[in-house]
Amino acid sequence: MMARITVYLTGSIAAYKGVEVVRGLQKRGHQVRTVMTAAACRLVTPATLAALTKQPVLTSLWDDNDPIPHIALADWTELALVVPASADILAKMALGLADDAASTALLATSAPKVVVPAMNSHMWQAPATQRNLQQLQSDGVTVISPVDGMLAEGYAGKGRMPEPAAIVDQVQSLLAPAGQLAGKRVVVTAGGTREPIDPVRFIGNRSSGKMGIAIAAAAAAAGARVTLITGQVSVPLPTSPLVTNVRVETTEDLLGAVQDSFAAADALVMAAAVADYRPQNVANQKVKKRAGQAKWQLDLTETTDILKTVARHKRPGQLVVGFAAETQQLLANAQRKLEEKGADLIVANSVAGSRGAFGSEENQVTLLQTGRQPEQWPRMKKTAVAAKLVETLAEKMKSGD
């Protein structure tokens, strides 16, 4: 889909990359107009963008040729892209301030908005910035998060703007025709939890997170807005603007994040490998090895059963999908889990042997549903399993089954 896109450049050192984003969008066939803040004009000249777009650059509300330029631009816009988005513009957007051309035009724009924050890592992590981002996401603004890398200050940290080509790709996916899950909200969990023993040691598992991350990416590709909640993972997270990433550590952290996200969601896919037990007492200091102590007893206590807890409180129309990772009696254990947990679907997979699911690029699963015969899928790439599972979810949502 070709679109009329207004690109807003703000006062971040990454403003020069915004020029490349404009060029990339034009190469994809989009019509592009631009707005610059006063700070951005100190980093990139408006003449550069005017030459690229063959359109005047909006830098001021006080244009003698057009008394209300921000309204005309807002009405023309089909997508507003703020790249780079400084901490200042994020605050203005979150609070609804309108004190310059950029903030006023953004406030007047009813079209979808995408922001690409770029700033020092300390500014990115500041509570005020995170509150503003949460408010923007609540308002329906899509956030393309910064990445880890070398910053202008000469040290590494999170706050670096993604490369222009990656941003253009994400904008393109956002503009793609509506998929099977368009308008739906899906929560996906992935990776393994960690239960601390002391400040150094923990109880964990071998989950790589590949399956859950593939499901999140497939759901986003189908048009869903996805909340991806990850524990420990060994693969990159999706970069789609439709995916919101949430990191957790323990089972209790995961429970809280799932409960917060699932209330407004249409489906939950619990692909995370969750600890069944945690240490009853966590040591404040590293537990030291003692001479003559051949054994060390660790008392464990049961963790909250997240799948069962959430499934018990789901509202009509919500779908809950669980995973059963087994080393023996796969179908019997998965069937028991389906019946006891109250899930709508259980995806059973073996984690035994060298062809087990953990860490592999492939998986062979069996889908279990109440009142139906188990459906064994052939061994395939995890991305293919994810796509097939998302298709199954879409069919169940459509049928109301």
Residue 95: both structure tokens together: 């609070």
Q: What gap in Å lies between CA 272 and CA 301, rounded to an integer? A: 20
205 labelled catalytic: yes
Distance in Å from the first CA to the final CA of the chain: 33
Q: Tell me the CA distances in angstroms from 303 to 134, 211, 334, 368, 395, one per residue in order.
A: 29, 23, 20, 25, 33
Annotation-wise, does 158 bind a ligand? no
Residue 108 makes CB contacts below 8 A (sequence gap 6+) with 70, 71, 74
Residue 218 CA from chain centroid, whole number? 12
Q: Give the chain's length.
A: 401
- In DSSP terms, which residues pair with 36 in a beta bridge? 9
Q: What gap in Å lies between CA 135 and CA 341, rounded to an integer? A: 34
Closest residue by Cα to residue 77 from 5, 125, 155, 139: 5
Q: Is cis: bond before 84, omega within 30 of 0?
A: yes
Q: What gap in Å lies between CA 79 and CA 171, rounded to an integer? A: 9
Annotation-wise, does 286 bind a ligand? yes
Annotation-wise, does 337 bind a ligand? yes
Determine which one of 205, 281, 333, 349 is catalytic.
205
Residue 380 — φ and ψ, nearest 5°? -155, 175
Q: What gap in Å lies between CA 312 and CA 342, rounded to an integer? A: 7
Q: Tell me the CA distances in angstroms from 354 to 327, 349, 357, 358, 361, one per residue in order.
A: 12, 13, 9, 9, 12
Residue 302: both structure tokens together: 């049961």
Q: Read off the amino acid at residue 99.
A: D
Annotation-wise, does 210 bind a ligand? no
DSSP β-ladder status, 345-350 and 319-326? parallel
Annotation-wise, does 382 bind a ligand? no
Rounded to 5°, the CA angle 110-111-112 comes to 120
- To which residue do tokens 């301030």 refer? 97
Residues making up the annotated binding site are 276, 286, 323, 337, 341
Q: Which residues form the catalytic set?
A: 205
Q: Residue positions in the annotated binding site for CTP?
A: 276, 286, 323, 337, 341
